[in-house]
Amino acid sequence: MRLIISGGGTGGHIYPAVTIAREVARLSGNCEILFVGTKHGLESDIVPKEGFAFATIEVRGLERRLSWQNIRTLCNTAGSVWNSIKIIKRFKPDVVIGTGGYVCGPVLLAASLLKVPTMIQEQNVIPGITNKILARFVDKIAVGYKEAEQYFTRYKPDQLIFTGNPIRPEVMSAGRDEGQRALGLDPNKLTLLVVGGSRGARSINNAMFEVYKHFSGSPHIQILHVTGQNEYNSIVSNIKQAGIDISSGGNIIIEPYLYNMPLALAAADLGIFRAGAVGLAELTARGIPSILIPYPYAAENHQEFNARALERHGAATVIADKELTGSKLIATIESLVENPAILSTMAEKSRESGRPQAAEVIARLALCLIKLQSNNKR
């Protein structure tokens, strides 16, 4: 069988696409996959590393207001739908799946015009604008949160399904010892994994400076902080200037990006995260308790809604970005690590919220769509 998968911009759209594609390939036994993204998004870095054939189209995102720029973007979109049609006619997919990001718009629209079965996967509590528009055209909508259903108002019966968000199988299979070894972590210390989403988070990075100072040399706690590519060099140089020890063998490890995130998750005891939907799906699948600092400028503040859903379930504690300071973060970390009973209840609640089977459910839906199409053709 042949699958086109599209999703782009950030890791939160790309990894679900990679995961679903792999799962469709595993279940079907024989699957040729083409990933369609843009040259500018993070996908142009991640997708070739993941070993997929990669095609690009030129497309820009819409602003959330009426503007000349939007009219120009819509004209360009017509060109990208045409280019997507050409890609689809050449590749002849049996199904086309989109996981969000504006690149999916023209690709899924083109597939729908060509009557190829289509599915979108929405990761967040509040759906992105591309998925909201595409919902009118596609055959299936798989949502990561039950709460997201209310935002798709014009769907047909059987079109909308709550599946949870797909996570890479390695997130579940990675072992704690293996993770600790791979990342140079001490098995006798509690590990804080700090991740500001796939691009890093400036306010978390800033607050972490106090946190390093506070926990530097701690015999009980170690920190693995992923800063994002852009700020890594300046953070490392500030840390060195402040005399904080980040040499190997110390208790603070700083990385710009982790290509082996599943191993880091396997070793983590507490996550300090933004509230990107996929990061949260990974934390909960592993039953990791978390301190969440939602990115306040995410479209329609969707990270706040993602975070609050976990907080309501008792799996996370939320700090508003505007209230985030080093001392607030230190106090919150200490309130948890010094109370193992609270931490372990949060871990249990986190695991309860996880849906590690989501990728398989979504892949099976895609295979059903193909079957339905071939039955209809007979």
Ligand X SMILES: CC(=O)N[C@H]1[C@@H](OP(=O)(O)OP(=O)(O)OC[C@H]2O[C@@H](n3ccc(=O)[nH]c3=O)[C@H](O)[C@@H]2O)O[C@H](CO)[C@@H](O)[C@@H]1O
Q: Distance (Å, rounded) from C-alpha 3 to C-alpha 34?
A: 6
Residue 2 per-residue DSSP state: E
Binding mask 92-111 for ligand X (x = CB under 6 A): --------x-----------
Among 197, 289, 354, 356, binds ligand X (CB under 6 A): 197
SS3 (DSSP) at 143: strand
Query: Considering only 11-19, 55-63, 106-114, 341-349, which stretch makes contact with ligand X by CB under 6 A?
Result: 11-19
Question: Nearest-CA neighbor of 139 among 186, 94, 103?
Answer: 94
In angstroms, give the least distance from the CB of 113 to ligand X: 25
Question: Nearest-CA neighbor of 333 among 160, 159, 215?
Answer: 215
Q: Which two tokens mark 77?
A: 């979109």
Closest CB to ligand X among residues 13, 286? 13
Question: Nearest-CA neighbor of 343 among 200, 190, 223?
Answer: 190
Residue 303 labeled ligand binder: yes
- Is residue 261 a contact point for ligand X (CB under 6 A)? yes
- Is residue 298 a contact point for ligand X (CB under 6 A)? yes
In angstroms, give the least distance from the CB of 54 to ligand X: 18
Token pair 């000349």 is at which residue?
Answer: 68
Residue 70 labeled ligand binder: no
Binding mask 112-131 for ligand X (x = CB under 6 A): -----------xx-------
Q: Distance (Å, rounded) from C-alpha 177 to C-alpha 159?
A: 42
- Is residue 13 a contact point for ligand X (CB under 6 A)? yes
Pair 179, 257: CB distance under 8 Å: no
Query: Considering only 31-39, 238-246, 275-283, 367-375, which stretch makes contact with ligand X by CB under 6 A?
Result: 275-283
Q: Which amino acid is at 109?
A: L
Among 25, 236, 253, 258, binds ligand X (CB under 6 A): 258
Among 8, 12, 37, 98, binds ligand X (CB under 6 A): 12
The size of the interface with ligand X (CB under 6 A), counted in residues, is 26
In angstroms, give the least distance from the CB of 1 to ligand X: 25
In angstroms, give the least distance from the CB of 314 to ligand X: 20
- Is residue 279 a contact point for ligand X (CB under 6 A)? yes
In angstroms, give the least distance from the CB of 18 to ligand X: 9
Residue 10 labeled ligand binder: yes
SS3 (DSSP) at 34: strand
Residue 168 labeled ligand binder: yes
Among 269, 282, 304, 321, binds ligand X (CB under 6 A): 282
Closest CB to ligand X among residues 198, 216? 198
- Is residue 22 a contact point for ligand X (CB under 6 A)? no
Supply angle C-alpha 27, 33, 34, rounded to 5: 155
In angstroms, give the least distance from the CB of 176 to ligand X: 17
Q: Distance (Å, rounded) from C-alpha 279 to C-alpha 298?
A: 15
Beta-sheet strands, E only, within the chain: 2-6, 32-37, 53-56, 95-98, 118-122, 140-143, 160-162, 190-195, 221-226, 252-255, 270-273, 290-292, 316-318
Q: Distance (Å, rounded) from C-alpha 296 to C-alpha 273?
A: 13
Instruction: Please state, as a whole number, how many other Cβ atoms lie within 10 Å of the Cβ of residue 378.
Output: 4
Residue 123 labeled ligand binder: no
Residue 284 labeled ligand binder: no
Q: Distance (Å, rounded) from C-alpha 306 to C-alpha 320?
A: 13
In angstroms, give the least distance from the CB of 371 to ligand X: 28
In angstroms, give the least distance from the CB of 238 to ligand X: 20
Q: Distance (Å, rounded) from C-alpha 333 to C-alpha 223?
A: 11
Would you list which residues are annotated within the binding site for UDP-N-acetyl-alpha-D-glucosamine?
10-12, 124, 168, 198, 303
Footprint of ligand X (CB under 6 A): 10-13, 15, 100, 123-124, 195, 197-199, 226, 257-258, 261, 276-279, 282, 295, 298, 302-303, 306
